[in-house]
Amino acid sequence: MKRQEKEEVKVEKGKLKENIFLFLIIFFFFTFTSTFTYAQDREKAVSLYKESVKFFEDGNIDKAIETIKEAINADPNYPEAYDHLGYMFLKKGQLDEAINAFNSALKINPRMRTSKTGIGSALMKKGDLKGAESILKEALILNPYPSMTHYVLGLVYEKLGDYEKAIMHYKEGIKTYKVRIGKE
Amino acid sequence: MEAKKKATAKILPLLLLLFSVFYLVTLPVSALALLQTGAQAPEFALKDIDGRDVSLSQYSQKKAVIVLFWSTWSANSPKAVKRFEEFHRKYRDRGIQVIGINADNQTISKEDVENIKKFLKEMDVTFPVILDKGLKTFHDYGVIALPSTVVISEGKITYEMPGLPLVGTEDMFDYLFVLAGETPKKKIEPRYVPHHDAVANANLAMRFVNKKMYEMAYPLFRKAIEKDPKYMLPYVEMAKLYNVEGKLVEAEETLRKALSVEPDNVVVTGELGYILSKAGKIKDAMYILERIVKLNSHAPIYYYYAYVLAKNGQMKESMNAFDKAIALNPYEPMIYLLRAEVYENSMMLKEAASDYRKAIKLILKIRE
């Protein structure tokens, strides 16, 4: 009886080992494939992002929007793509769509300073100058390269008729501007 | 152990310097690169008015490439386009290529394109004319007036001329005729080309300036001057740097040193006028700027003169001079910065804010 029990325990242990082994294989397989797929999706999204930037620079905004939407489909967790989409909507004057896109970027990366500046620009264009002022001040704290944020704040104060503050921000924007690699 | 420490202490700063130099040298060419004889001509690859690709490198086999920056709205551009069209028709088969780079606007609209096409048709232009989207090439070449001409041979700038001055233009065409194989009408003096080590040092210094690493820039400017005392650019740029740091005495000294080498240099004289005005020496500034403004049509001379006039209380004359500078080069942020300062000092804050906005838009290259 004891021997039979021992053998049963042995069989059970073997099965457990087999299951753990199988689980590990499945776990590593899925981890590897999902990481691989994620990397592939991100790579595709980055390539589409670059393509969209090129269309944008050539003045073809509609094609640029179409391409950046493809990038978002390829990788829905790519904050720069939403940010770029926001700026294109801003350029087209579709202000609510721009704010939505910037908010999507901020949901993924709450420190996305260019998106905060983008929301500030959109609010300013919508006439919500106080709202714009508030979010731009927030962006200014986050931003180690604040020239663009100072510029938009300057615009807000100019519209508010506070020329002293507008001048101060324009001057700061010029002072803090630094030639550097890549975009702000 | 002690010796090892000493050796490390000696090597570390050297490695740091080497790293900094490597880092800066590998940066892309700055958009603030200055136009200068002897410098490498920045490459451009743009679309022509009919959408065809045109690049500088595609003409690398030519004896020389003449790049004419022009716009439909600048007063002297039609004259320049006409002269170069005549030159092109006569000498296109002699290995000299004329390229026109249009700088009508930062963003070229369909209406702009139609307007440019109409202009070219009226002028019967046959050389390629390309559109400088975002004015990148305009800034890469550091153009200070429209029209401006740059002659490039074997990838290097061999001649540059801002504006279309009466005497200078004929000298430049004499140079071009000789390049095309004609006998010169008068004896042509060999053009001054700065020492290549001096150019390299000055370029590196400029990169440090652009990165706001001023302490690294000063010794390089001094080295450039030491290598070639006739090379005016490092004097001017070093004086500008002193000015940024509020060291007006050093700025004045540097410019006066440059003028002791080349007393008639227009750019140096203009900068000296500006520094003197900032130092409150208004009479001296007026004296030298009044003299050169009559002889030259460079935008910087006009805006420095305008600034001094304002400081001298001649507001109306100042505004006229600013307008002249804008007519020559509306993409120069310094014009709006100085005029903004003038407005601000006169408590015209609305106007000042508007000009600071124009300046920052140009500096950040914001396209609406």
B6 within domain boundaries: no
Residues B121 and B65 in one domain: yes
**Domain final position from B148, B179, B210:** B179
Chain B residues with beta carbon closer than 8 angstroms to that of A155: 357
Residue A163 to chain B, least CA–CA distance (Å):
6
Kindly state whether residues B111 and B227 are assigned to the same domain.
no
| Residue A22 touches partner B, C-beta closer than 8 Å | no
Chain B residues close to A158, C-beta within 8 Å: 353-354, 357
Give the pLDDT confidence of B275-322 residue by residue, as tens digits: 999 999 999 999 999 888 877 667 888 999 999 999 999 999 999 999
Residues of chain A with pLDDT below 50 are 179-184
Q: For residues B205 and B172, state if they share a domain.
A: no
Q: What is the CATH number of the domain that holds B358?
A: 1.25.40.10
Separation of alpha carbons B116 and B105, rounded Å: 11
CATH at residue B88: 3.40.30.10
pLDDT at B20: 40
B201 and B175, same structural domain? no
Is B320 a member of any domain?
Answer: yes
- Domain membership flag for residue B310: yes
Does residue B352 lie within any of the structural domains? yes
Q: What is the pLDDT of residue B22?
A: 36
Among residues B152, B179, B206, the one where a domain terminates is B179
- Asked whether residue B153 is assigned to any structural domain, the reply reads yes
Per-residue pLDDT of chain B (368 residues; tens, 9 = 90+): 455 555 545 554 444 444 343 333 332 222 223 456 777 888 999 989 988 999 999 998 899 999 999 999 888 899 999 999 999 999 988 999 999 999 988 777 788 889 999 999 999 999 999 998 878 898 888 887 889 999 999 888 888 888 887 767 888 888 898 888 887 776 666 677 788 899 889 989 988 988 888 999 999 999 999 999 999 989 999 999 999 999 999 999 999 999 999 988 888 999 999 999 999 999 999 999 988 887 766 788 899 999 999 999 999 999 999 999 998 889 899 999 999 999 999 999 999 999 999 999 998 888 76
Burial class (CB in 10 A: 0-12, 13-18, 19+), B360: buried
As a whole number of angstroms, the distance between CA B65 and CA B152 comes to 5
Q: Specify the pLDDT at position B188.
A: 65
Structure tokens at A129: 């100058």
- B123 and B54 together in one domain: yes
- With residues binned 3-state (H G I as helix, E B as strand, rest as coil), the percentages for chain B, rounded to 5, are 60, 10, 30
Verify that B87 and B233 share a domain, yes or no.
no
User: Does residue B209 sit in the same domain as residue B352?
Assistant: yes
How far is the C-alpha of B69 from the C-alpha of B132, rounded, in Å? 10
The residue assigned the tokens 């390829």 is: A74
Q: What is the DSSP pairing of strand B156-162 with strand B148-153? A: antiparallel
- The rounded distance, in Å, linking the Cα atoms of B257 and B262 is 9
- Residue A116, burial from CB neighbour count under 10 angstroms (0-12, 13-18, 19+): buried
**Same domain, yes or no: B167 and B101:** yes
Per the domain annotation, does B16 fall within a domain? no
- Note the pLDDT tens digit of each residue in B139-153: 888 887 889 999 999
Q: Where are the beta strands (DSSP E) in chain B?
A: 45-47, 53-55, 64-70, 96-102, 129-131, 148-153, 156-162
**Contact: A166, B361; criterion CB under 8 Å:** no
pLDDT at A25: 76
Q: Is residue B34 part of a domain?
A: no
Same domain, B236 and B313: yes
Estimate the crossing angle of helix B196-210 against helix B232-244, to 10 degrees: 20
Distance of CA B81 to the CA centre of its chain: 20
Residues B215 and B167 in one domain: no
> How far from the centroid of its chain's Cα atoms is residue B329's Cα?
11
Our count of domains for chain B comes to 2
- Does the residue B230 lie in any domain? yes
- How far does the CA of residue A73 sit from the closest CA of chain B (Å)? 29
Of A148, A150, A170, nearest to B353 by CB-CB distance is A170
Q: State whether ipTM is beyond 0.85.
A: no
Q: Does A105 touch chain B (CB under 8 A)?
A: no
DSSP H helix total and E strand total for chain A: 8, 0
Start-to-end Cα distance in chain B: 63
C-alpha Rg value of chain A to the nearest Å: 26
Q: Is A6 in CB contact (< 8 Å) with chain B?
A: no
The model's pTM:
0.72
- Over chain B, what is the mean pLDDT? 85
Chain A residues closer than 8 Å to B337 by CB: 174
| B63 and B212 co-located in one domain | no
Q: What chain A residue is nearest to B343 in terms of C-alpha separation? A: A167
Range of the domain at B346: 196-363
Q: Is residue B240 located within the same domain as residue B121?
A: no
